[in-house]
Structure 1
């Protein structure tokens, strides 16, 4: 069994995975409002491009799982998606607010950026580009253009940026780095490849995003990534024991469906 040496105490960023998605339907305005109310430091979202060029917050390639409709996001226009209910799949008995269509309609990234801008405090955004996609290259282009409209595409430095872009695709992150070098990037991985276990990431990437199963099985990977100068943002961390492990290892960010509970465990609520 690998011995885990406690890391120096530091403030771990709590990132709401698809919003407070245990309490409200993922990727809906209801989930992100709840995450802000819960005190999340940052909001995580997945983005896909519609057939008519809009970035929407949807995880799956198809809308079947999280809406009352069917079809691929890339083949549907925004008006088609706006006619669907993205909250009906989750039990609404605990929250009558979900019955409000404005809170469970498809969420555009533009609307999410507006929500963050109006939060009344600093709330960061972790945007994940989904691949493969028929719109290769266009997703990053539209994403950076939209961030530019909100004054977020050219931060003074990566450390000051309230937005970071994440992906399992090294090519996607390379496109972002070439077009907007001061926006930090996170390389997501669900497998402990030899490269990552040695602390190596694609050129220009500032942080690793390993899944919690990797961290459980190979806790020493965090120290190696830190030694290589990288941050570590772990997903998806919901269980108290996993939160404790991340605390001991000194990761920089915990991505969770339960931001309120994690903040409580960290002594911040």
Structure 2
């Protein structure tokens, strides 16, 4: 079994942030296929529930930034979301990209010719509440992945409540507690990973050591600049989440030679 919740024998893990989103519109199947081709160890995605209970890969609460439509994701049916163009904002070359179901992304990862993990962030607050985590676990269970035995899936959130809920539903899945502005005084006791943003790491590099001293593996988002990659490697970061998986993988490879 390949455990993708910890560094592989290639060293620092590289996780594709919403796919290879430097080259393709985020959260589209094209972005994820490119990320797999670029050698990403895992694919990061954000999930929300549509009005009719479908698990879709969309970061924002609304669709304005990433599509040609308007509206709140949780108030739109999957059919309504599917009618929107999620590629045009990235340029005419990407027109026609459609909203991605999480289950379709999961199938894409499982069909890869090598183990490719999934780092799934449940987005909160949302009107879906606990239904979001329940649906995620249902889909994972349908594919035999909810018990965590495969090592292919990990869950992430800024919400301690969301991670606690996931732990109750699927205690075998690794949990990543995301940190944006500061280290919160209380983290889920079952979380094995901490995920500070790169801005926080730049301001407080010693944070990585403090987190590791607590027994936590550390992943940093979103690491696109060469100097940030170097900083994270020097600090002993275990996982880099990046929009540029190929470039980061090549930089890490060059350091190892």
Query: Normalising TM by the smaller chain, what interval?
Result: over 0.9
Report the counterpart of residue 6 of structure 1 in structure 2: none
Decide whether the 8 Å contact of 1:201 with 1:208 is kept in 2: no
Distance 1:180 1:79 in 2: 29
Aligned: 1:241 with 2:227: yes
Q: CA deviation at 1:179?
A: 1.4
Tell me the C-alpha RMSD between the 2 structures.
Answer: 1.6
Q: CA deviation at 1:10?
A: 7.4
Aligned: 1:231 with 2:221: no
Find the residue that maps to 1:89 and give its secondary structure. helix
Find the residue that maps to 2:88 and give its secondary structure. coil
Q: Write the deviation string for residues 219-241 of structure 1: whole angstroms up to 9, x where unpaired.
A: 11111111111011100000000
Q: 2:191 aligns with which of 199, 205, 208?
A: 205
Q: 2:247 aligns with which of 247, 261, 268?
A: 261
Report the counterpart of residue 165 of structure 1 in structure 2: 155
Distance 2:214 2:172 in 1: 19
Decide whether the 8 Å contact of 2:48 with 2:56 is kept in 1: yes
Find the residue that maps to 1:226 and give its secondary structure. helix
- Unaligned ranges ≥5, structure 2: 1-8
Decide whether the 8 Å contact of 1:187 with 1:201 is kept in 2: yes
**TM-score normalised by length of structure 2:** 0.93
Q: CA deviation at 1:155?
A: 2.6
Report the counterpart of residue 5 of structure 1 in structure 2: none
Q: CA deviation at 1:259?
A: 0.5
Report the counterpart of residue 80 of structure 2 in structure 1: 80
Alignment of 1:8-157 (within 5 A): 11-92=11-92, 96=93, 98-99=94-95, 101=96, 104-156=97-149
Q: CA deviation at 1:202?
A: 2.0
**TM-score normalised by length of structure 1:** 0.89
Change (3 A) 1:10 1:201: farther
Report the counterpart of residue 4 of structure 2 in structure 1: none
- Unaligned ranges ≥5, structure 1: 1-8
Find the residue that maps to 1:125 and give its secondary structure. strand
Find the residue that maps to 1:266 and give its secondary structure. helix
Distance 1:51 1:263 in 2: 38
Count, aligned residues: 247
Find the residue that maps to 2:177 and give its secondary structure. strand
